[in-house]
Structure 1
Amino acid sequence: MKRAMKLEEEKVYEAFKQKFFHWFLTYEGYDNFSSVIKELLLLLKRELMMEQVSFFMFDPLSKTFYPEAMTELETSRSPFVPSDLPVDIAAIADDEQRAIQFCEDGEYTTARIFLHLSEETIGMLQFVYPRHLPISEQLLKKIRQDFSMLFQKLRIISQGLSNEKRYERLHQFAAKIHSSMQIDNVLEEIVNTLKQVYPSFTYRLLLSHDNQHCDYLPIKTLEFDESAENMAALQAFLTGRIQLEDSISLRRSILYAPIKGGQGVYGVIQITAPYIMKFPKKEINFISLLANTAGSALENARLYEQSRRLVADLQLINESMHQLNTNLRLQDAIEFMVKQIKQSFCADEVGFFLFEGKKRKLLPGSTPFFQSRQAKKYVEFVERKLKAEMDIIFVGDADVQASPAVPVYRSLMAVPMVQNGAMKGICIVLHHKPYHFTFEMFKLLQSLIQHSTLAFMNAILREELEKLVVTDYLTKLYTRRYLDEQLKQSMRHHTFGTLILVDIDNFKQINDTYGHQAGDEVLVQVANIIRTNIRSSDIGARWGGEELAVYLPKVSLATGISVAHRLAEKVRTGTHPPVTISCGISYWKKNRLEEVDDLFKRADEALYMAKRTGKNCIFVKDYVHQYRA
């Protein structure tokens, strides 16, 4: 009977080996060891009529088994995973007597077959089968002998094919990422290659702060702190060498591979391998090659993007300087630069300040926020930093401590306007989000301000020179020549206007009594009163000697008379020594043909009558009539 059973077992096993031979010749996925073993176990289960067949790989570091492949159970029983294995695994696997162990569990028998070859424990086959199934220990020993050699060879074949396929993928990966000049594409390809090569592993890309990356990729910013979980990643980033972090308790191993280029390290690839207590050397070498290839491609992409950004920055500077050198007015130049800065840096607020001694002056063209009281805290913050550091200011998260009503601006850049070694002013740029401005933006702003400062200073000097040409040195009122030109333009483009000639009464007596310096001081006082009591569109000018003039474009005669009365009252009460003025007024309309000289002549005649009448009075010379106002 036993002889018959033995022959039957041999017959079944021989049939299994024949089918295995045919399967081996037709199967093509040998590069995936787990898939090969799973197919082999399914064949073994079917041919030997097992309930479940499992294979557990042996980890020599922790001396534990982890599941490599397992067939499904035919019943609703839970899969059996060994947890009570003896400590001396290697000794048991090498011992013919103890290499096969049995365990009875109700209707089922569990057989553990420890595989061993050339002083190396390979793993364990586990059979779960009905107790009535006639499987002898002799057959299990035969299976142990055959499968020890088979698993070893399959592993070698699988590893060889897997390595070949992985290096082929590495070659494709290198070709693909080096053909891309987009950082996001390079990062995405790194992740896709990791998915293909290590489908059962988990991984992340730990990148430095200056990398902008896609949200849909497993990417995290590398934190520069000394926490235990971050130390290995930091070591890899700082040293440029692979770091390993093995955890026996968590049954995993973590590898940190630096993404290294020729000019530096740009991040770290974190790979977590489940069930592996120690990365094999060949895996470390492959991951190192992949990381270095990625680092080189990432560096090329960064350099390409930097070069494009540099070209764009140079174009911006060139276009800005070209526009500024077209002799723009100061306000137009500031408005242009504010627009350029807001567009280029997506800034919320831009302000230009000019230093005049210990005072600061907000230049026209700055954004309206800097004209408000709320901006004071930010300007004072910049001045404190500037006084303490005497350098450029770049703050990613500013703590200005403004009142709750003040808009919160967290990102701040401030660049001094320097000419010939002297600080002429400062440019302040704000954004409400923290860390909005990059260091590249800051360097570009610095370059823009350095180049534009000369244009601003030239515009200021040009406008001052223009003002000097058309301004009387003593009174700071306009010159008579400028008044003539503006009157001519007004009579061409407007429909009416009023001219007031002003003469200081008894001016010679003031000079004789108090001296010419006092006389000049009185003249300046009267000029200041005129300047502060007329509109910006009106023109106050020095007519000659102690005579002054005021032209009021688009102002009626009645309004002009009222202005003259107000000036006379202000002069009478606001000068020291007190003086009075006489005024002569003339008026023009579009429908009456006359020249500028006619308007001057009538105003002069009216002033003459005011002086003859007794001074400190106002006369009007109309086209026909002359009367006292």
Structure 2
Amino acid sequence: MKLEEEKVYGAFKQKFFHWFLSYDDYENFSNVITELLLLLKQELMIKQAAFFVFDPLNKSFYPEAITKSEESHSPFCHQILPDNIKAMVDDEQQTIQIHEDEKYITAQIFLRLSEELIGMLQLVYDRQLFISRRLLKKIKQDFSTLFRKFRMISQGLSDEKRYEQLHRFAAKIHSSMKIDDVLEEIINTLKQVYPSFTYYLLLSHDNQHHGHLPIKPLVFDESGENMAAMQAFLTGRIQFEDSISLRRSVLYAPIKGAQGVYGVIEIMAPYIMEFPKREINFISLLANTAGSALENAKLYEQSRRLVADLQLINETIHQLNANLRLQDAIEFMVKQIKQSFCADEVGFFWFEGRKRKLLPGSTPFFQSCKSKKYIEFVEKKMKTEKDIVFVGDAKIHASLSVPVYHSLMAAPMVQNGELKGVTIVLHREPYHFTFEMFKLLQSLIQHSTLAFTNAMLREELEKHVVTDYLTKLYTRRYLDEQIKTSMLHDEFGTFILVDIDNFKQVNDTYGHQIGDHVLVQVANIIRSNIRASDIGARWGGEELAVYLPKVSLAVGISIAHRLAEKVRKETHPPVTISCGISYWKKNRPEEAKDLFKRADEALYAAKRTGKNCIFVKDYVRQYKV
């Protein structure tokens, strides 16, 4: 290197020293290099200086900092890629390459740190300006060291800023107890730290829709496309995936808490063949901090949900224990389940031996034939396979193909270890119910089964109290009470007193057991031929009675004729009946005993005139019909 070159280069280094002391924007590597190149251009009187960063993924260089040329036509040489980069790196003689044309000389100086090629310094100068290869080697040596130090300073400042962001991130998300806030803060921090990267949150189970956040469900793909993400989730360790064709590197960082892994952060970096260790450490800290905060938020929301679930169970059981009728209890439970789980259909079924009974109060869908495949599917799972029934999408089951409702969960009604019944809950959309909902439903049904059983036993006891043991018709006492109530609130009604003709002869001929059987047959005919609001009762001995509230006399006579005809045709041994009918209206006040007296008189007339006939006793006269 000539003396004049040494002086010029020494002046450059001296001015660089003064610049270095006054410059304070070292965080931005590109700005630092640009300032350095401007100083080099000025002191060495070159036309243009540029620095190109080496991209190991693409085996090429891209510009990091370029000084502008004073001329309108830039002397910048575009052809900067060597034919064989490996040979250039391995051969020290090829780390400085000189290209000449008629006007300019272009020196390409390839810079390395240890064995790593970091970039290329390109100097363009006039042919009249002589720069020796010795000076170029000196520049190569100094700038390699200088760039290494600049990079260390830049990285140190960048790390300091990022870790300050990480500290703020940790403080903010740990102060929040909402999962949505934690997820949003993760995305915001990634945007600040890696503005040029693409990233997603792959969550293991996220049932809410976050339209504004880059969130995807973490699901197993049989094609193996997301295998690295699944490995990160299963092992709890960072995984990598590099793609030369797509010119990118992908990092998968598990969002890990103390109790498990809740998802994966997917970070896609363009033009990077391998993530630096410092970046991996930072991303790992970010993901672990996020995992801890997400876990705390989930635990907090879970505790709130458990408190709400316990309140729901407590309120439900308190209401069910208020001596509700069975239908009222079922209707209350249906309302609670539909509100708590946003369910479309709720059905309660009780098993009586091999028979299945739909409890009153269930939604109407379970009375339709469309519900049959759901009921049979659940019953098979519970009774035969002894399995729980929680279906996310019913169409995947052959027996439920083309379903109306896709989401299904069923909770057994168990008492003393015995399966008493089942509750089926349906929703049209697939994967509507969560497993937490299923567990809450199980708890609700478990606590309510005893209340249902007690309601059924209480109603059964009430039924026995007001029901005749032999005929299963109501007792005369219950009939009296209901007629008195009807005479207070209704406008009119018809009373039919029924007597089995020649009943003593049946007993004498066939025996009392057959006589009882005949009595039961007649009672069954009465029960199957009157409305639910009508009252069939045993009056005494072989006499039965029917009260028809809000039924006219003409309709009452028609019903009596139908009963007489069916008894004559359907009893075995065949018997006939005689009927006495009485009628009341609101405009003629009277008591129940008057109604009974007139019917008894009409029945006496029917028996006296040959039996197997119907007599009516109105207010003033008696006639046969």
Q: TM-score w.r.t. structure 1 length?
A: 0.90
Aligned to 2:237: 241
Q: In the alignment, is residue 29 of structure 1 matched against residue 29 of structure 2?
A: no
Q: In the alignment, is residue 50 of structure 1 matched against residue 28 of structure 2?
A: no
Distance in 1, matches of 2:166 and 2:33, equals 26
Aligned to 1:469: 465
525-534 vs 278-287, greater mean Cα deviation: 278-287
Per-residue deviation at 1:542? 0.6
- How do residues 101-500 of structure 1 correspond to structure 2 at under 5 angstroms? 101-104=97-100, 109-115=105-111, 119=114, 123-127=118-122, 129=124, 131=126, 134=129, 136-137=131-132, 140-210=136-206, 212=208, 214-225=210-221, 229-246=225-242, 252-399=248-395, 400-401=397-398, 407-500=403-496
Indicate if the aligned counterparts of 2:111 and 2:121 stay in contact, CA closer than 8 A.
no
Compared CA separation, residues 608 and 72, structure 1 to 2 (3 A): farther
Deviations 1:19-47 (A, max 9, x none): x5665455443223244334544565677
- How do residues 84-95 of structure 1 correspond to structure 2 at under 5 angstroms? 84-92=83-91, 95=92
- How do residues 578-589 of structure 1 correspond to structure 2 at under 5 angstroms? 578-589=574-585
Distance in 1, matches of 2:334 and 2:242, equals 55
Distance in 1, matches of 2:67 and 2:431, equals 54
Indicate if the aligned counterparts of 2:54 and 2:120 stay in contact, CA closer than 8 A.
no
Aligned to 1:82: 81
**Given residue 287 of structure 2, which amino acid in structure 1 is its aligned partner?**
A
Distance in 2, matches of 1:3 and 1:284, equals 47
Q: In the alignment, is residue 527 of structure 1 matched against residue 523 of structure 2?
A: yes
**Given residue 332 of structure 1, which amino acid in structure 2 is its aligned partner?**
D
Q: In the alignment, is residue 70 of structure 1 matched against residue 69 of structure 2?
A: no
Deviations 1:92-149 (A, max 9, x none): 4xx4x654311236765432113357x5656344336365573623654454344233
Per-residue deviation at 1:558? 1.8
Deviations 1:390-442 (A, max 9, x none): 132112222455799x7522222122211111111111122222222211111
Compared CA separation, residues 373 and 105, structure 1 to 2 (3 A): farther
Indicate if the aligned counterparts of 1:258 and 1:268 stay in contact, CA closer than 8 A.
yes
Indicate if the aligned counterparts of 1:112 and 1:124 stay in contact, CA closer than 8 A.
no
Compared CA separation, residues 90 and 463, structure 1 to 2 (3 A): same
Indicate if the aligned counterparts of 1:58 and 1:121 stay in contact, CA closer than 8 A.
no
Compared CA separation, residues 84 and 407, structure 1 to 2 (3 A): same
Indicate if the aligned counterparts of 1:174 and 1:293 stay in contact, CA closer than 8 A.
yes
Tell me the SS of whatever aligns to 2:544.
strand
Distance in 2, matches of 1:566 and 1:601, equals 23
Compared CA separation, residues 477 and 388, structure 1 to 2 (3 A): closer
Deviations 1:532-571 (A, max 9, x none): 1111111111111111111111112222222212212222
Per-residue deviation at 1:470? 0.9
Distance in 1, matches of 2:570 and 2:207, equals 67
Per-residue deviation at 1:520? 0.8
Distance in 2, matches of 1:284 and 1:157, equals 19
Distance in 2, matches of 1:281 and 1:155, equals 15
Compared CA separation, residues 575 and 107, structure 1 to 2 (3 A): farther
Deviations 1:338-392 (A, max 9, x none): 2222222222222111112212111122222211111112222222323442132
Per-residue deviation at 1:210? 4.9
Tell me the SS of whatever aligns to 2:394.
coil
Indicate if the aligned counterparts of 1:257 and 1:287 stay in contact, CA closer than 8 A.
yes
Compared CA separation, residues 455 and 35, structure 1 to 2 (3 A): farther
Indicate if the aligned counterparts of 1:73 and 1:79 stay in contact, CA closer than 8 A.
no
Distance in 2, matches of 1:166 and 1:229, equals 32
Distance in 2, matches of 1:43 and 1:23, equals 9
Indicate if the aligned counterparts of 2:582 and 2:596 stay in contact, CA closer than 8 A.
yes
Per-residue deviation at 1:158? 1.0
Tell me the SS of whatever aligns to 2:525.
helix
Distance in 2, matches of 1:373 and 1:389, equals 24
Distance in 1, matches of 2:67 and 2:49, equals 6
Indicate if the aligned counterparts of 1:108 and 1:128 stay in contact, CA closer than 8 A.
no
**Given residue 423 of structure 1, which amino acid in structure 2 is its aligned partner?**
L
Per-residue deviation at 1:329? 1.5
Distance in 1, matches of 2:80 and 2:434, equals 54
Compared CA separation, residues 130 and 153, structure 1 to 2 (3 A): closer
Indicate if the aligned counterparts of 1:497 and 1:555 stay in contact, CA closer than 8 A.
yes
Distance in 2, matches of 1:528 and 1:21, equals 114
Distance in 1, matches of 2:177 and 2:209, equals 14
**Given residue 480 of structure 1, which amino acid in structure 2 is its aligned partner?**
R
**Given residue 297 of structure 1, which amino acid in structure 2 is its aligned partner?**
A
Distance in 2, matches of 1:377 and 1:35, equals 71
Q: In the alignment, is residue 618 of structure 1 matched against residue 599 of structure 2?
A: no
**Given residue 50 of structure 1, which amino acid in structure 2 is its aligned partner?**
K
Indicate if the aligned counterparts of 1:354 and 1:361 stay in contact, CA closer than 8 A.
yes
Deviations 1:136-172 (A, max 9, x none): 2365445434423322221121122112111111111
**Given residue 278 of structure 1, which amino acid in structure 2 is its aligned partner?**
E
Distance in 1, matches of 2:77 and 2:303, equals 61
Tell me the SS of whatever aligns to 2:414.
strand
Tell me the SS of whatever aligns to 2:432.
coil
Distance in 2, matches of 1:554 and 1:464, equals 27
Per-residue deviation at 1:244? 3.5
Distance in 2, matches of 1:467 and 1:347, equals 34
Q: TM-score w.r.t. structure 2 length?
A: 0.90
341-350 vs 200-209, greater mean Cα deviation: 200-209
**Given residue 127 of structure 1, which amino acid in structure 2 is its aligned partner?**
Q
Distance in 2, matches of 1:222 and 1:563, equals 69
Tell me the SS of whatever aligns to 1:87.
helix
Distance in 1, matches of 2:479 and 2:307, equals 50
Per-residue deviation at 1:182? 1.4
Distance in 2, matches of 1:211 and 1:528, equals 55
Indicate if the aligned counterparts of 2:58 and 2:244 stay in contact, CA closer than 8 A.
no
Indicate if the aligned counterparts of 2:501 and 2:577 stay in contact, CA closer than 8 A.
yes
Distance in 1, matches of 2:90 and 2:142, equals 20
Per-residue deviation at 1:51? 4.5
For the aligned residue pairs, the C-alpha RMSD in angstroms reads 3.1
Indicate if the aligned counterparts of 1:122 and 1:152 stay in contact, CA closer than 8 A.
no
Compared CA separation, residues 80 and 443, structure 1 to 2 (3 A): farther
376-385 vs 516-525, greater mean Cα deviation: 376-385
143-152 vs 22-31, greater mean Cα deviation: 22-31
Gaps of 5+ in 1: none
**Given residue 236 of structure 1, which amino acid in structure 2 is its aligned partner?**
A
Distance in 2, matches of 1:427 and 1:17, equals 87
Per-residue deviation at 1:212? 4.3
Distance in 2, matches of 1:223 and 1:106, equals 63
